[in-house]
Amino acid sequence: MLLTDTHTHQYYETDLVKREELMQRCLANNVERLFLPNVDSVSMELIFSQVKAFPDNCFAMLGLHPCDVKANWKDELNAINTAISQHKIYAIGEIGIDLYWDKTTLKEQIEAFMIQIAWAKELKLPIVIHCRDAFEEVYNVLQQENDENLRGIFHCFTGTLEQAQNIIELGFYLGIGGVVTYKNAGLDKIVQQIDLKHIVLETDSPYLTPVPHRGKPNESSYLIYVAQKVADLHQISLEHVAEITTENSKIVFGV
């Protein structure tokens, strides 16, 4: 069995001993592929360090997180774009729009989002989308940019069935994480109605920890709980979920 965490910030752990322990727990739970999205220019080196330490298991993505679209966002984009030309990456991300924390930067967030979509198209790479309290804004951008080169993952999907179908119609996969295990979130009922060929799994570690560890820091080894919940919802084996979702991740990332 092979599980793929398509979205984890496990590189935030900079203690080398603890980092090794995290990875060993991943391997013990068959989580052997970790895709690492950065958030700003500073986090890039953390990702490259993790990839260097675990080249068979960790894969880099680069992008400017919408919450980091601040006064210096153009400088941040320039730094990230320079790094993209110097390193092997597998997606542009995480990018998108976040109106939960700050609505005043919407114009700049949209501009940064569209610039990075252009990078992805030019490089023939997928995008990994962060969307919080901004579905319509993100969806409008995706509709504008929709063509044969636009593809990727809608990270941390927690929307409605109609929103899921709209995203799938654009050719995107839905990133399903720990929220699917939350009793009152309602995501379980949505995931139950979605064909697994449209789903990839993720943790968003150290955030959104699944049951039974909710309330504690998340880690990629906990992907096993997300996978088991999806298996239960679809009444199939854990191994089958792992097989389908890992194959989906290979289609997205090309590795």
Domain extents in the chain: 3-253
The pLDDT tens digits for 81-98 are 999 999 999 999 999 999
Quote the mean pLDDT of the chain: 97
The pLDDT tens digits for 49-68 are 999 999 999 999 999 999 99
Share of the chain above pLDDT 90, in %: 99
More confident residue, 102 or 107: 107
pTM greater than 0.95: yes
Q: Tell me which CATH homologous superfamily contains domain 3-253.
A: Metal-dependent hydrolases (3.20.20.140)
pLDDT at 146: 96
The pLDDT tens digits for 3-44 are 999 999 999 999 999 999 999 999 999 999 999 999 999 999
pLDDT at 185: 94
The DSSP code sequence of the chain is: --EEESS--GGG---HHHHHHHHHHHHHTTEEEEEEE--SSTHHHHHHHHHHH-TTTEEEEB---GGG-STTHHHHHHHHHHHHTTS--S-EEEEEEETTT-STTHHHHHHHHHHHHHHHHHHT--EEEEEES-HHHHHHHHHHH-STT--EEETT----HHHHHHHHHTTEEEEE-GGGG-TTT-HHHHHTTS-GGGEEE---TTSSPPTTSTTS---GGGHHHHHHHHHHHHTS-HHHHHHHHHHHHHHHH--
